[in-house]
Amino acid sequence: MAPREKNRELREALEPIAELGGVPSASGGPSHLAALSKTIMTPFGGSRSDSTRILKDLAPVIMTPRMIKGVATASSSSGPKPLAPRAADFAALGRAPMRITLHPRRITSTDMQILEATPELLHAEVPEPQGIAHDVSLIRGFKATIPSAERGKARRRKVRMSEGRAGLLRHGIGERGLLTETSIEEPGKSPRKGKGRAQRRQEREQGHVLGREELARQVGEIRMDKENLHVRKTLVNSEIDEITQKIKALDAIRDQLHQDLLKLQEEELELDDELDGVQEQLAEREAAKPEVPSPAARRKKGPAFLPSEHDDLPPGVAFMTLSHSSPITALDFTEPYGTLVSADREGGVRVWDLLEGEEVGRLRGHKGAVKAIQVEGDVCITGGEDGAVRVWDLRRVEEGEPTEEGVVVNGDVEHQEGEGELPQGPLLHVLEGHSKAVTALCFEDTSLVTGASDKTLRQWDLNTGQCILTMDILWAISHPPISTPITPSLEGLSPSGLLAAASGSFSWPIPSTGEMWTDYVGGVQAWGYALVSGSGDGGVRLWDMRTGQPHRTLLGHTAPVTCVQFDELNILSGSLDKTVRIWDLRMGRTADLITYDGPVTSLQFDSRKVVTCASENGVKIWNRTSRQLSTLSINGHTQPATKLRYIDRYMVSGGADGVVKTWAL
Amino acid sequence: MATDLPYAADAEISLSWDELDVLRQQYNIELEKSHVTVQTKFNYAWGLVKSPQREHQVEGVKLLQEIYRAEPGRRRECLYYLGLGHYKMGNYDDARKFNDLLLQKEPNNLQAASLRELIDRAVSREGYIGMAIAGGAAAVGTILLAGLVRRAMRK
């Protein structure tokens, strides 16, 4: 806008002069001098000071002296400005409504812009006015805010000034409603009428002349002013509301951006992981091992390739439901959209095709419920309440009744198929040795480790079916490893609890449900010779399977440990004390503690997140980057989730409501 | 909502120079702080539209268009002001379009009805003058032609 810029230039040109305190610089031309003298005179000019005063009233905060000067200058300077009245424009006054074809119009680019905009504007929707637009019309606001709205006030002030101090006092009384005095005086006026000018002048000097009409007029004016003020207040209020809304919207956008940033960071981490995995694979290849990485290796590292539709699934929403008849006690699956094996409390073990979402068959054989399941490729191992461990070949699972013929107890025979043995049933081996329920197991290649309520851990050779090692947790409790500082009574369970755990059968009331927790060994994980177990005494133990001795015990949980998992850096253990502890492997200390609302029954983690079931309907996800806890509950379980397992972005969870849900993460 | 609109006659009453200047200052101050309230913008725009100077009117209509774009809630009112602005500028076509759209929404709007009348009158007057000019030109042409013909006939 050319006129505004020109104005500003003019003002800026004047500012140095004004700031120098009225010392005209040599560079200032005569017009500047003239403007300056006007600036200095401005406060004493009648109408001009009016306008600055009004402006001050309109925007008291922003009217710095410099601005007042600017205003005064702008209105007083007679320089050539587009918006200033010019001699030529006075002629326009007369013909304004008479502009006809005889006078060629000056068509400017703004004109063209305006005309071009018309069709677009006409097409815009015109909604019913609401809110402030409904309450205060633009013209009402205009009338309330334009300078002339203040005219009455100025006039009253003048009247009062001339009226004098006494009159003001009287007027003040009159305004408070004590008009009686005046009205009494009024009738008294008529007899005085003939008293002549001198008398009246005297009265005026005494301040008696403020007549009824003037007062009534003032009342009307003040009412009008008040109404105008009300309108302006409404306008300002609505403006404040609007700004509040805008700030809220901006805040929301900023939050969203923060979230996006977090997501990007996570993606970066994910890529780092993927790169590590791929590089490792590459290194393996180059080490001249043509062997294809086993499924177990893939489970730990590298990306699993999901069907392309998986990316289209909304994350955090359960998209499939598989029903059992009673609460889920254990589950595991081979790979996303692969095969799932799940067990319920009534002893049913079902095999599902995750691509179709259909039951493929059942694994029958255990007496009582199955408490631990692991699936790798076609091999499935289950541990049951009956103390037995069964090894299954999932390829042989079929609909219909399998027989138990051809099953070799504690395998005298290799489990190759088609070796003359009857291959009807999926069962390959039954490993017996535990005297109580097998509650945790972990196998890799041919080595299997199981934990059971008889308070022992056993290592098995899957080729021979023989138990090669038995590790007694009770013995470990009474012979703590030397390297561990002996502070069990301070941090771990109370000695009485330990004693109770040591004697006879183990049980612990679950805080939320009141049910008893009887799984002494909550979880085991083995990797190479390293073994980690979490048990009912609240201890997390690191075992060396070459010696069969625990070399470290991590104490901190105040209730039985229900699940453990470790990687190169950390051990994570979940417990009925409603926490997950993240242990630093090198320091042997709790590096972090995640607190939940309910006892933790199952967990799995990777470098970015810790996913847990914590006796809530929703599955909990702790973001290790943002340290935020979120809940997956959309289309989820209707009773607490108990078990979960995920690979890559595909998760399966089982709940007390007897259903298995599959999720996209 | 009881329509609260000024009659077209109001638009012909110009503000005093001081008043318009105050409105402009207020607008510019808010513009520099990059938050212009609708009321301030309208005040300035309406002040400009009321001005007899065409440049002012154009500027005013432009501001009204800005309000119209940015504030859907104010569109109903702005239809009228846009109509009035265009009318003052002499863009009777556009004035009629805006005013008719308003009348379509509020058939009983007195101010809009009166503005329509004014526009109609202005258009017909423009038409008459145009016709008068054309007629005059035709008459002059005829006379010239007749003169030529007569001169030719004489020879």
- What digits encode the pLDDT tens for the residues A245-285? 999 999 999 999 998 998 898 888 888 888 888 888 888 88
Q: What pLDDT was estimated at residue A424?
A: 61
Check: CB of residue A450 under 8 Å from CB of residue A433.
Answer: no
Percent of chain A residues past pLDDT 70, beyond the cut: 65
A456-478 pLDDT, tens digit each:
999 999 888 889 999 988 888 88
Question: Minimal Cα distance from A84: which residue of B?
Answer: B17
pLDDT band at A218 (very low <50, low <70, confident <90, very high): confident
> CB-based contact (8 Å) between B66 and chain A?
no
- Shortest CA gap B145–chain A (Å): 25
Residue owning tokens 């997950």: A580
Check: CB of residue A428 under 8 Å from CB of residue A387.
Answer: no
- Across the range A384-407, mean pLDDT stands at 73
User: Which residues are CB-neighbours of B155 under 8 A, at least 6 positions away?
Assistant: none
- Across the range B47-76, mean pLDDT stands at 90
Q: Is the pLDDT of residue A287 over 70?
A: yes
Rounded to the nearest angstrom, the gap between the alpha carbon of residue A434 and the centroid of all alpha carbons in its chain is 48
- Mean of all residue pLDDT scores within chain A: 74
User: Which residues are CB-neighbours of B73 under 8 A, at least 6 positions away?
Assistant: A127, A129, A130, A131, A132, A133, A134
Range with the lowest mean pLDDT among A36-50, A258-272, A317-331?
A36-50
Residue owning tokens 């943002």: A626
pLDDT band at A587 (very low <50, low <70, confident <90, very high): confident
- Across the range A490-510, mean pLDDT stands at 56
Q: Is the pLDDT of residue A116 over 90?
A: no
CA distance A556 to A575: 10
- From chain B, the residues in CB contact with A116 under 8 A are none
8 Å CB contact of A51 and B22: yes
| Amino acid occupying residue A343 | A
pLDDT band at A163 (very low <50, low <70, confident <90, very high): low
Q: Which of B128, B55, B58, B93 is nearest to A98 (CA)?
A: B128
- Across the range B102-122, mean pLDDT stands at 89
pLDDT band at A8 (very low <50, low <70, confident <90, very high): low
Check: CB of residue A581 under 8 Å from CB of residue A562.
Answer: no
Q: What pLDDT was estimated at residue A316?
A: 84
CA distance A308 to A30: 80
- From chain A, the residues in CB contact with B117 under 8 A are none
pLDDT band at A204 (very low <50, low <70, confident <90, very high): low
**Domain range spanning residue B88?**
8-122
User: What's the Cα-to-Cα distance from A347 to each of A93, A454, A510, B130, rounded to whole Å?
Assistant: 99, 20, 22, 101
Q: Which two tokens stand for residue A20?
A: 């120098």
Q: Is the pLDDT of residue A49 over 70?
A: no
Q: What pLDDT was estimated at residue A504?
A: 61
Return phi, psi of residue A661, to 5°. -115, 145
How many inter-chain contacts (A to B, CB under 8 Å) are there? 166
Rounded to the nearest angstrom, the gap between the alpha carbon of residue A482 and the centroid of all alpha carbons in its chain is 47
Any domain includes B91: yes
User: What's the Cα-to-Cα distance from A22 to each of A7, A27, A34, A76, rounded to whole Å?
Assistant: 20, 14, 12, 17
A634: which DSSP letter?
B
Q: Which of A34, A36, A31 is nearest to A17 (CA)?
A: A36
CA distance A660 to A340: 10
Point out the residue among A71, A93, A145 whose CB comes nearest to the CB of B43: A145
Percent of chain A residues past pLDDT 90, beyond the cut: 22
CA distance A566 to A553: 14
Q: What pLDDT was estimated at residue B6?
A: 85
| Amino acid occupying residue B58 | V
Q: Is the pLDDT of residue A618 over 70?
A: yes
Q: Which two tokens stand for residue B128?
A: 């008459």
Check: CB of residue A477 under 8 Å from CB of residue A536.
Answer: no
Range with the lowest mean pLDDT among A357-366, A421-430, B56-65?
A421-430
pLDDT band at A426 (very low <50, low <70, confident <90, very high): confident
ipTM: 0.77
Q: Which of A55, A111, A114 to mutate to test the interface with B (most CBs of B within 10 A)?
A: A114
8 Å CB contact of A133 and B71: yes
Range with the lowest mean pLDDT among A150-164, A451-465, A513-527, A533-547?
A150-164
Range with the lowest mean pLDDT among A165-174, A402-411, B81-90?
A402-411
Q: Is the pLDDT of residue A518 over 60?
A: yes
Any domain includes B96: yes
Any domain includes B34: yes
Q: What is the DSSP string of A465-492?
A: TEEEEEEEHHHHHHS--TTS-S-HHHHS
Q: What pLDDT was estimated at residue A123?
A: 81
Cα dihedral A115, A117, A120, A123 sign: negative
Higher pLDDT, B15 or A498: B15
pLDDT band at A292 (very low <50, low <70, confident <90, very high): very low
Any domain includes B150: no
Check: CB of residue B106 under 8 Å from CB of residue B112.
Answer: yes
Any domain includes B2: no
CA distance B53 to B45: 13
8 Å CB contact of A129 and B73: yes
Any domain includes B15: yes
pLDDT band at A295 (very low <50, low <70, confident <90, very high): very low
> CB-based contact (8 Å) between B80 and chain A?
no
Any domain includes B137: no
Q: Is the pLDDT of residue A86 over 60?
A: no
Considering its fold, how many domains does chain B have in total? 1
Check: CB of residue A239 under 8 Å from CB of residue A231.
Answer: no
- Shortest CA gap A134–chain B (Å): 7
- Across the range B121-129, mean pLDDT stands at 85
Point out the residue among A54, A115, A134 whose CB comes nearest to the CB of B22: A54
Q: What pLDDT was estimated at residue A95?
A: 42
Higher pLDDT, B26 or A503: B26
pLDDT band at A63 (very low <50, low <70, confident <90, very high): very low
Q: Which of B14, B55, B106 to mutate to test the interface with A (most CBs of A within 10 A)?
A: B55
CA distance B46 to B63: 9
| Amino acid occupying residue A89 | D
The CATH number of the domain holding residue B71 is 1.25.40.10
Any domain includes B26: yes
Point out the residue among A47, A117, A235 whose CB comes nearest to the CB of B18: A47
For residue A457, give the H/E element and its range: strand A456-461
Q: What pLDDT was estimated at residue A16?
A: 46
